[in-house]
Structure 1
């Protein structure tokens, strides 16, 4: 039953950013709205405010406020669309991408430690499921 998978995946999605590799440096502790916008922009650089709002099911005004905060932190930059100068595209900065890379490495290390607390067979099954979970995420991202 898909619910048997959906519920633990949802629980993990909620728990992971709060427990695995939690930020110790206050500069990088971002509110949930900023984390969501950054997650989307890392995967879809060049999105407009309206694209981000639609993708996250938020109001464009709320996304604009969030983007201003991210700009002030040096994590997002606005660029005019080359084909239509009226449109502004949002891009993660080099600093944001560097931090994301470090954060992902930290998540991997912390998750490895957490997997060591599980029975070896469970840990092996979870590691083996990674490609299928990536494919599922890609499928859901297209919907």
Structure 2
């Protein structure tokens, strides 16, 4: 695992089995530090659009570019970093309290999200000022 900033965001290596017929990526219980309770994916996102624009109070997420590429801007309230995801055997592990925006989707990009919780609107912080207030509590 390689460390990136801000705030303990990690790029994780997803185990893969290489085969001349095609590679297989495997995510089992020891790959992520949480149990996956929800899986969803973003696709057909126009290159000029962005997704995200929120933070979570409790939910952890791992983002994987299973096809194509996109950029993730992560922000802990003090610093920001832009991370490009473009390999299906790399995941971006985002802890709680991190603002994220996804942008610059390539044609055919698919972003797979493995979430630690089921959907709960109350867990979302969708206003950036409220996010900064949350971080300063």
Q: TM-score range by the shorter chain?
A: under 0.3
The normalised TM-score by structure 2 is 0.24
Q: Which has the higher strand share?
A: 2
The normalised TM-score by structure 1 is 0.23
Q: Which has the higher helix share?
A: 1
If asked which structure has higher relative contact order (CA below 8 Å, sep 6+), I would say 2
